[in-house]
Amino acid sequence: MSSRVIRFLAVLLTALALIPAGGLTQPAPDRQACAAGEAEAVIGQPYSPELAERARRTAGAREVQKVEPGGAYTTDLNADRLNIEVDRAGIVTGLHCG
């Protein structure tokens, strides 16, 4: 057997060893991701940590983030994060997940 074939087989066997026992398929999520529309009742209210937590629970999100005008925020998308947009006066103007 040539060294090229042996190297190929070694790489193939290594790759196969790294595949999880359950295969390559992802299990279905146990719950639905963040649903911002479910928490729309907070729009128009003054932002507070208590309001943010209530909106997070209502939306089914795992995280919550306050988004202020001119603020610096993470650019990663996270389907389990509720973003609460506020205006300069601290009033909730919108909600979105991501």
**pLDDT tens-digit readout, 63-84:** 999 999 988 877 788 999 999 9
**pLDDT tens-digit readout, 9-48:** 565 556 556 666 655 554 445 556 899 999 999 999 999 9
Segment (H or E) for 12? helix 3-18
pTM of the model: 0.66
The owner of tokens 């359950």 is 22
- CB atoms under 10 Å from CB of 60, counted, come to 17
